[in-house]
Structure 1
Amino acid sequence: MSSTTTDYKHIVLNDRQVPVIEGSTMKVIEIAMAQRAHGWTPEEIHINHRHLTMGQIHSALSYYWDHQSELEAAMDAELREIETLRQAAGESPFVARLKAQNLLP
């Protein structure tokens, strides 16, 4: 797997041009989402992702805030694709069984 360096220490673009933390598969957007979804500080992100250094976390957050609009556009596109796939897959057999047993509405 190849990567391209960025102006941000610890952040590289993977072969799909997605920003990741160098030496890992952790995407920058995953760090930003953890902060937004849980309200975590960088220290709390570190507690939950011990394999990352504080420098890596701060660099990922800096990259996110400097590229917020393009990263959120990519997230929106990914969510639309997921929803399309979910709709195409239909109801799972497990959910159908639960509904048949009146365990789900």
Structure 2
Amino acid sequence: MSALVTVHIHLDNAGVAWIDDSNIKVIEVVLDKLAHGWNPEEIHAQHPQLSLAQIHAALSYYYDHQLDIDRAIEQELREVERMKPAVTQSALRKRLRATGQLP
């Protein structure tokens, strides 16, 4: 990623882009847009603690760094897929299935 940082966005020591004055990563806003097709106003309705300027800055940062962020999303999805078997076979799930509380 480039060292240039958009207003309302900062990078942490690991190079992760965060929205200023929040605990929300840029990638989270991007995922809202990609997964739900939300526009900035809809994202604002879901995250009222963010200003529209912060949301637009996050999306702008995404478009400036789209390749890197898309790669990070793909990596996270691969990690979720890798972890799925462990979650679906948890002891709690097995007990709930045994008692008929889960299909």
Equivalent position of 2:17 in the other structure? 19
5+ residue gaps, structure 1, are none
The percent identity for this pair of structures is 45
Q: Deviations over 1:23-42 (max 9, x none)?
A: 22211110011111111110
Give, in angstroms, the shift of residue 18 of structure 1: 0.3
CA distance in 2, matches of 1:40, 1:90: 30
The alignment's C-alpha RMSD in Å is: 2.0
Q: Paired residue for 2:69?
A: 71
Which of 52, 55, 58 is equivalent to 2:56?
58
SS of alignment partner, residue 10 of structure 2: strand
Q: What are the ranges of 5 or more consecutive residues in structure 2 without an aligned counterpart? A: none
Which residue of 2 is the match for residue 8 of structure 1? 6
Deviation per CA, 1:6-54: give whole Å up to 9, x if none.
Answer: 4311011012110110122211110011111111110111111111111
1:100 maps to 98
TM-score where L is the length of structure 2: 0.82
Query: Could you tell me which of 19, 32, 35 is aligned with 2:33?
Result: 35
Summarize the Cα distance change of 1:91–1:7 in structure 2 as closer, same or farther, 3 Å threshold: same
Question: C-alpha distance in 1, partners of 2:13/2:75?
Answer: 19
CA 89–48 in structure 1, closer or farther in 2 if over 3 Å, else same: closer
Q: Give the structure, 1 or 2, with the largest relative contact order (CA under 8 Å, sep 6 or more).
A: 2
In the superposition, the TM-score normalised over structure 1's length comes to 0.80
